[in-house]
Structures are given as C-alpha cells and as structure tokens.
Structure 1
Amino acid sequence: MNKSILTLSMALALGGCSLIPDYQRPAAPVAVAWPQGAAYNEVGTAGAVLPEWRNYFRDPALQRLIATALDNNRDLRVAALNVEAYQALYRIQRAELFPQVDARGSGTRQRLPADLTRTGQAETNGEYGATLGVTDWELDLFGRLRSLSQAALEQYFATEQARRGTQISLVASVANAWLTLQADAAQLKLSQETLQTYEQSYKLTRRSFDVGVASALELQQSRTAVEGARVSVAQYTRLVAQDGNALQLLLGSGMPADLPAAQALDQPLLAELPVGLPSELLQRRPDILQAEHALKAANADIGAARAAFFPSISLTARGGTTSSQLSGLFDGGSGTWLFQPQINLPIFTAGRLKANLDYSRLQKEVQVAQYERAIQVAFSEVADGLAARGTYQQQLQAQRDLVEASAEYYRLAETRYRTGVDSQLTLLDAQRQLFVSRQRLIDTRLAQLGSEIGLFKALGGGVE
C-alpha cells in the first residue's frame, strides 16, 4: 500500500500541468536583406558557411597565438567555469522534482528518578529506531518546480552562449593585437629608414652651409625633418612595446618560444569570407542566442509565479522499525510507518503573489527588448562590415597609387635639387609626402584587415 501511494505521488509530481506561457520568438526588428548602395559590393546568400578560425587566419604565427590564448586566457577560463557553475545550479533545481530518500537511525537511553515514574521507583528506559523515507517532498501538481527547473536550464544555455561569445571576442582580439603589433613594427622600421635618409640629407646640407652654398633657413628645414623622424621613431618604439604587452595579456602567458616568423601585412592573411542572409544571424551570433535563452528563462519564471497562486502539497512518508531494546530492533512486530501529507493554500498574502507575477511579466518584456536590441546591434555591425569591405579595397589601391606617385615625385625632386634646378624646400616636401603616404598605407592596410576581422566576428565566426 505504501509503495502504491509513493508511486502515485511521483506520477502526480512529474506529470502535473504546466503554467508556462507558450513561447513565441519575437519577430526580428531588422530588414530581410542587407543594405544596398555604392558602399556595398557584397550581397548575402542563403546557407553561407563561415570558415573556422584556423582556416580563416592564414598566418601560422597568428594561428599559434590564437591557440595559446584559447588555452590560457583568464577571461575565457572564467566564462567556462561560469558554464559549469550554472550547470550545477540547474542540477540542484532539477533535483527538487524528485523525492530525497534518506535513512535514519536513532537511539535513546534515559534514566528517570523515582518521583517522576508511575511505579515510584527509578527506571531506565530505551528507544531505538531505524527508518527509510522522504521528508517534505513537494508534489509539483501545478508545475512550479518544473518551471523553475526550465528557467535554470535556459540560464545554463545562456551562459554557454556567453562562453562562445567570449571565445569569438578573444579570437578577434588576438588577431587585431597581433596585426597592430606588426603594423607598428612596420611603422617603426619605416621611421628608422626615413630618419637615416633625413640624417644623410642634413649632413649634406650642413656641408653646403659650411661652404656658403646653403642658407641657414635650408639648414633648419633639414634639421626639422630629422627631429620629426626621431619623434616617430620614439613613438613607434613605445607602441611596439605596449602592443607586445597587450598581446601577452590576451594570451594569458608569455609569447611562445618557437613562434613562426610573421607574414608581411601586404600578404593575403585572411581567407574569403562569405556573408549569409540576416536571418542566419539568429542561429550564429552567441549574443543573440544568449538573449533568447534569457528570454525563455524569464518566460519559465512566469509559470512559476502563476503556480504560486495554487495550493502546494508536500509529502512526508517513512517506514521502519522501533523497539525499546537495541537487540529487538528487527524482531517481528516492531514495524512502524508514517504517512503525513500537508497542503498549503495561500489565502491572503498582501498582494505579494500578484506583485511577483507582475514582476515576472515585466522581466520578460525587458528580455524581449534586450533580445531585439541584440539583433539590431548584430545587423548594424554586419552592415558596417559590409560597407567597410566595399570601400577599403578601393581606398587601399588608391593609397598604393599615391605611394608610387610620391616615390616618383621624390626621385624627380632629388634629381632636380642635385642639379641645382629646384630648392631644398621642394626636396623636403617630397620626402615628407613620401613618408606620410607610406605611413598611411600601413594604417589603411591595418584598418582594412581589422574591418574584415570585425565582419568575421559580427557574423558569429571564430568558434570551432
């Protein structure tokens, strides 16, 4: 009989109704296609598959650095531990659905003085017992516990997406930090070469000044160029050191000892990146998936708040043996059992239950807004990336052409200055323009690579 009661109770607890509202995914508050116009030369195609980061980044040195960061970065480690923590919280909440069976043993020996006994003589009494059963197990007839369990499960899924988002951000951050280091190293090398050129010109101008051919103005103009180049050398020396420190922070360890040589910035460092339709972001972007799981958790909390209005039934049931002597604990006829159901019906709570339900509904509306916001941010980031892709190639080619023109301008100006046709001012202007155009070429290439990496991240790439 006791077994039948326990079985029936478990069936009621696990098969009760659910008051969780039917979940409906909110409509995406963005256009169904990417923006069109002169700045865009890429149209999304359905089913585009993003490459994994190992296939997207072609520089072996960068691949090694990303792998090192994924193994050692502390932010990613914290995100992974948070996933495990929320998984444990889900298991704790889910365990509330099932009875917690425990075994208990007790023993008591008590001496009573003569004036407290019925016989008028001192007595020593004993009581021993052993029981097996459950205590205060709530029968989940209206789905309160299952709603809380569902909410905990969705929070666990949300933290897993947060971990994926952290990994994607880490991959992009390491790539940007490495390319920034390479660009500043290239700027440092360019500044050092330019300084040598300016110093040579200054020495020649100094000799001309000493023999009365060059004026004091020309000498100071040449010196100004030298000092300006020294400023650039000092600036990029500092930036290279700081870039290395920032990269090591992302790696979570020192630079690998056997790191391959870095590829030059003008090499094809990134693979081609396909772009899918806007709707595909809903399945790719971890932040969107995280927001949707948070929305589902808030939806499940409404079910728990609704169930709180209904009666709650808890059950205590135990069976075992008891005896006045330890030796007779398991003798025939010593059996004992307890069946103690308890019902709690809320009658007056001063509006607490209604306020809790209102709060749960408002939290769901907050999560809906955050979900829609996540979609809008994702759409904007991808649209910006597409606009950058459509214009950076043209800008980069125009900058290369400018460097070639500046180099030719410098060659002609130097020839005319050496033959006495032009003044040194023209030569210094040509040197300065060539230096600046080469600097901007490095900056433009870095910006173009950064925009491609940003688009890769915006599309949800970077996860194996």
Structure 2
Amino acid sequence: MRQSLLSLAVAAALLSGCSLIPDYERPDAPVAADWPQGEAYGSAASEGIRAAADLQWREFFRDPALQQLVQVALENNRDLRVAALNVEAYRALYRIQRADLLPSVSADGAGTRQRLPADLSQTGEARTSGQYSATLGVNAWELDFFGRIRSLSEQALQQYLATEQAARSTQISLVASVANAYLQWQADQALLELTRDTLKAFEESYQLTQRSFDVGVTDALALSQARSAVDSARVSLAQYQRLVAQDRNALTQLLGTGLPADLPQGLALNAELLEQVPAGLPADLLQRRPDLLQAEYQLKAANANIGAARAAFFPSISLTANAGTASSQLSGLFDSGSGTWLFQPQISLPIFNAGRLRANLDYAELQSDIQVAQYEKTIQVAFQEVADRLAARTTYRQQLDAQRALLETTETYYDLAERRYRTGVDSYLTLLDAQRQLFSVRQQLITDRLAQLSSEVELYKALGGGWSNTGSNAPQG
C-alpha cells in the first residue's frame, strides 16, 4: 500500500509539469528609442554614462541634513511601513496558494462508544459497542495534471512580485517627497530671512524720509510711499513665517516622527546640493522603474490566470487515501491484524455548465488584454515624465542664469538710484522703485533655485533612482 501511494505521488508530480499558461512575450514599448531633442533639452537627453538607478540617494543628496532626514523617514514613515506589510501579506498568500501543490498529510484518531437498547438490537438484548481508529493519510488532494493549481500559484507569485515593486515605488516617492519638502523649507527660510533684511532696510528708509518730511525737505506723498513699502514687507514677513512653520509640519509628517535633535547644519540653497543625474535611454526605464516592473508583473499574473481558466475545461482528479489501525476495543487498537487502509480516487469531468467555463476563459483573456494596455500606458506616462523633467532641467538652468544676471543689473540700478537720491539728483520715488525691484528679483531668484532643485529631484525619481537591484527576493516555487 505504501509503495502504491509513493508511486502515485511520483507520477502525479511528473504529470503536474503540464502547463496551459500562454507563452509570455513582453509587449513592445510604445515610445521612441531616444529622448526628445531640441533647444529645451540641450545635451541632457543624450547623456547615458551612468543609470540613475545606480546612483543611491546618499550619493545624489549631498546635504548632510537632508541625508539624515531621508534616513529617518525610511525608518518611520507609515505609508512605507504599510507598503512593506502589504508585501509580506502577498508573500503569505503566495505561500498559501503554493501549498495546494502538495498533499496535506494528517494523523487522525477517533473513538466511539454506543449503547443500543433491546428493541433496537438485532439480538433483542441491550448491548454496548465501541470502535477506535488511528489513521495517517491525505484527504481530497487534487492531482494537478493540467496545471490549474500551478497556474494559480504562478499568478499569486506575480502578484507578490508586483506588490514588492509597489513598495519600492513608495520608497522612491517618499525619498523625493522628503527632499522636496526639505528644499521648500529651506527656500521659505531663505525668503523669510530676505524679507527681514528688506523690512529693516525699508524701516531705515522710512525713518530717513520721516526726518526729511519733518524738516520740509520731503513731501507727504514720498512719506506715504515709504510707509506702504514697510507695511508691504511686514505682510510678506507674516506670510513667510507661516509658510516656514507649515513646511516644518509637512516635513515632520513625512518623517513619521519629530525632527532629529542632532540634525546637522544644512547647505545653502546656492550650494551644490545634488549630484548630476544622467538620463540614460528610454529602454532603461523598463529595467529600473518599479511602477513599470509592477505593471509587467501584473500582466504576467493575468497571463497565468488564463492557464488556470484553460485547465478548468479538463477533468479534475483528486485522491483520498489513508492507512492505519482500527479495533472495537481501545486496548486492541494496535494488535496484530487490526490494520486498515482506504484508497479513494475521484475524477470530475465538466459536461454542462451553461457556458460558465467559456465565459471565465474569455474574462481572463480580456483581463490580460487590459493589463497589456495598462502596461503600455504606464510606459508612455513614464516616458513623458522623464522627457518633461529633462526639458525642465535644461530650461531651469537657463532661467536661473538669466535671473542671476537680472539680479546683478538690479543691484547696479539700486546702487545708482541710492547715490542719486543721496546727492539730490533723483526723488525718493526712484529709490523706492529700485528697492522694490531688488526685493522682487531676489525673491524670484530663490524661487527659481527651488524650482530647479525640485526638477532635479523629480528627474531622479522619474528615472527610477534609489534602487540599484531590481531583482526579487521572492521564494522560489
């Protein structure tokens, strides 16, 4: 009996290699083979010496304060924690599905004592009987001759791998979000400091104008305009104080905990905060962007589901078998001659189901077609994101250079206006106009620098930066 069960198990294992899953072929990427070219892109689109995925975030972010904040967020952010737990949950589901490939062996013991009254006994006398058994075997084990269970196991594996890539996407998004929140915080702090300095200059100018007005040198219009400049600067001061506080709160929420007490001094906005990110080629995105890998794993899962739907058209064969011992007396349960065994194969062949199986197969194939379209759309969106950010990187650099040149011109204008006002050549209105222009240009320079840094961070994110290993730690089935 044991040899028969062993032979059957070996035969089932050999036959279970049959699979009705369609051969998988990755769809062609519906995008160009290279990034767009033109004045807005400069030479950035042709760079490809080093892939962004090989540039770890500690290398990309040069600011020590930002490096520490990213590390804190990776350890404490709740969205990332949920994503990691989802990976473990899908891993458990895969293990559950894979377990159906093997028989569940159980040891069972049972005992019964029964008394029959005389009018129910065949002998006409009341009697008490017993039955005891101990068995070891398998119950309703489906022999996967046509690969239905193996297809479902493959589907669960691909879903697990897709969830793993979703967690990686969450991490990359978190790193970029922390970087952008930190840069916004730094920029608003710089704007707040600029506003304080400008307010101080406006107040000094107002006091000077007030003294001139008191002695009759300046008219009431100039005094009123000087006062309005002070009030306007105070409005900006309150605005940036609020923004700095809100930026800190937003950063704290991303971290999942308070700001570190030992946070080092950050670099200035005009310092080299970020490493250069080469663009690579569009095809590289397929190997390094987690959202594209996730979409492909989902496509493979839908493909595997077709195999399960096809296998449902074929007979389902299951096996129940056990061996053990039985006796009417507990004391004789393991006596010689008490052995018992059961061998019960069962086959179920679908004959009529009102088109249910055909509909299930059609649905599985349609789901696969949907996943193909979604995969292609994900590639197109990824291509657009990178192309947009390549254009932003080049044009923001040009804009920043132009803004710096404008600042130099405005500073010269302010110096000339101040000297001409001191010497009585021009009115105070000219000086006030120069002060306001200088304040506005300095504000815009900080804003442009923030936009340029944010575009670099978004490019790093769009290129799949942050993960050097796109492989999987999935269990092998």
TM-score interval w.r.t. the shorter chain? Answer: over 0.9
Alignment gaps of 5+ in structure 2: 469-477
Deviations 1:47-80 (A, max 9, x none): 6233100011000000000000000000000000
Shift of 1:219: 1.2
C-alpha contact (below 8 Å) 2:49/2:278 kept by paired residues: no
**2: CA distance, partners of 1:396 / 1:172:** 22
Could you say if the C-alpha distance between residues 293 and 125 of structure 1 is closer, same or farther in structure 2, counting changes exceeding 3 Å?
same
Aligned counterpart for 2:298 among listed residues 294, 298, 321: 294
State the shift of 1:181 in Å.
0.2
Q: Which residue of 2 aligns with 1:4?
A: 4
Tell me the matched-pair count.
464
Question: Following the alignment from structure 1 to structure 2, what is the Cα–Cα distance between the partners of residues 135 and 320?
Answer: 14
**Secondary structure of residue in 2 paired with 1:43:** helix
Measure how far apart 1:359 and its partner are: 0.9
| Alignment equivalent of 1:388, drawn from 380, 392, 403 | 392
Between the aligned partners of 2:104 and 2:31, the Cα distance in structure 1 is 49
Please name the residue that 2:270 is paired with: 266
Q: CA deviation digits over 1:257-307, x for unaligned, max 9?
A: 100001100000011212211101000000000000000000000000111
Deviation of 1:10 (Å): 4.6
Compute the TM-score of the two structures, normalised by the length of structure 1. Answer: 0.98
Contact 1:292/1:371, CA 8 A, preserved across alignment: yes
In 2: Cα distance, 1:178 partner to 1:42 partner: 26
Match of 1:42 in 2: 44
Find 2:219's aligned residue among 181, 206, 215: 215
2:180 aligns with 176
Q: Residues of 1 paired with 2:244 and 2:126: CA distance?
A: 92
Q: Provide closer, same or farther for how the CA distance between residues 46 and 199 of structure 1 changes in structure 2, counting only shifts above 3 A.
A: closer
Checking the alignment, whether the CA contact within 8 Å between 2:117 and 2:125 is kept in structure 1 is: yes
Q: Which residue of 2 aligns with 1:104?
A: 108
State how far apart, in whole Å, the 2-side matches of 1:391 and 1:49 are.
22
Does 2:444 correspond to 1:440?
yes
Q: Which amino acid aligns with 2:35?
A: W
Are 1:132 and 2:133 an aligned pair? no
State the distance in 2 between where 1:172 and 1:15 align: 50
Q: CA deviation at 1:314?
A: 0.8
CA distance in 1, matches of 2:244, 2:3: 75
C-alpha contact (below 8 Å) 1:90/1:153 kept by paired residues: yes
Answering whether residue 161 of structure 2 is matched by residue 161 of structure 1, we say no
Q: Is the CA contact 1:14–1:97 (under 8 Å) kept in the aligned structure 2?
A: no
2:242 is matched with: 238
Segments of 4+ in structure 1 off by > 4 A?
none
2:475 corresponding residue in structure 1: none
TM-score w.r.t. structure 2 length? 0.95
Q: Counterparts of 1:195 and 1:134 in 2: how far apart (Å)? A: 84
Give the distance between the partners of 2:132 and 2:387, measured in 1 at CA. 76
Distance of 1:281 and 1:267 partners within structure 2: 30
Contact 2:313 2:357 in 1 (8 A): yes
Structure-1 separation of matches of 2:46 and 2:294: 24
Deviation at 1:33, TM superposition (A): 0.6
Candidates 378, 399, 403, aligned match of 1:399: 403
Among all aligned residue pairs of Structure 1 and Structure 2, give the percentage whose two residues are the same amino acid. 69
Q: Deviations over 1:21-65 (max 9, x none)?
A: 110100000000110011112134556233100011000000000
Give the letter for the 2:347 counterpart.
I
Unmatched runs of 5 consecutive residues or more in structure 1? none
Cα distance, 1:237 vs structure 2:
0.3
Q: Which amino acid aligns with 1:378?
A: A
